[in-house]
Amino acid sequence: QSALTQPASVSASPGQSITISCTGSTNDVGYYDYVSWYQHHPGKAPKLMIFDVTKRPSGVSNRFSGSKSGNTASLTISGLQADDEADYYCTSYTSEYGYVFGTGTTVTVL
Amino acid sequence: QVQLMESGGGLVQPGGSLRLSCAASGFTFSAYGMHWVRQAPGKGLEWVAVIWYDASNKYYADNVKGRFTISRDDSKNTLYLQMNSLTPEDTAVYSCARDHKGGYCTGDSCYIDFWGQGTLVTVSS
């Protein structure tokens, strides 16, 4: 199972918005509405930010939003803040009863 | 609150074996599916395996199938990963993670919700 494709890095200034893409195939992102996004600070446990493409767990800021079109899902962070600086991973359920992760995107707040 | 604590990592020679454990607390362990996920040094996250809440089904990534075995002991609230025939490509931080439900997709929902911090496995001679 090939990893989902994400941009290696995205950067923006505080207060701006960024969008991270996550491209898969008709075996995963394109078929299932089961895309999740995780925020990962190295050395810490990843944190769930978005699940089922658009849903936010309680406690996650509404500055984080998710969407999907065809084989590509997206995570948008609006009003970028310094503590948003982290690695972000998408993941999708697959037709093989497991999950496939994205390649990861490092978000830098300038 | 949900806590997942991995242990058992270390240095092992190629071809060797290792068993990882994950102690769970803060939730009803027997009601949830559980996953193992790994991250090689400098690389991204990689899903390894899942076991359903009742252990009736287990699924593996293709590159560990036949070498790794996921299991659980609900009496001890503990998840395991038995790793055999290890290669340097298995070097990674291994984390256990909780499924949102029983380990399977529930109609309109399917995701992993909580993770541990992981334990490092190094395969090297």
Structure tokens at A3: 């990893």
- pLDDT of A1 > 80? The answer is no
Chain B residue at shortest CA distance from A55 = B109
Please report the pLDDT score of residue B103 as a whole number: 85
- pLDDT of B117 > 80? The answer is yes
CB contact under 8 A, A48 and B114: yes
Candidates A49, A56, A99, partner chain B, best to mutate (most B CBs within 10 A): A99
Query: Which chain A residues are Cβ-neighbours of B100 within 8 angstroms?
Result: 51
Residues A8-34 have a mean pLDDT of 95
CB contact under 8 A, B60 and A98: yes
CB contact under 8 A, B44 and A103: yes
Distance of CA B53 to the CA centre of its chain: 14
Mean pLDDT of chain B: 95
Please report the pLDDT score of residue A96 as a whole number: 75
Please, are residues B46 and B29 in contact by the beta-carbon 8 Å criterion? no
- pLDDT of B61 > 90? The answer is yes
Amino acid identity for residue A3 in this structure: A
CB contact under 8 A, B113 and A45: no
Q: Which is more confidently placed, B60 or A95?
A: B60
Candidates B110, B114, B117, B120, partner chain A, best to mutate (most A CBs within 10 A): B110
Question: Percent of chain B at pLDDT above 90?
Answer: 91
Q: What angle do CA A42, B124, B122 make, to 5 degrees?
A: 30
- For A15-52, letters b (16+ CB in 10 Å) and e give eeebebbbbbbebbbbebebbbbbbbeeeebbbbbbbb
E-only strand ranges, B1-125: 3-7, 10-12, 18-25, 34-39, 45-51, 58-60, 68-73, 78-83, 92-99, 112-115, 119-123
- pLDDT of B74 > 80? The answer is yes
Please report the pLDDT score of residue B49 as a whole number: 96
Q: Is B2 on the interface with A (CB under 8 A)?
A: no
Residues A41-57 have a mean pLDDT of 94
pLDDT band, residue B50 (cuts 50/70/90): very high
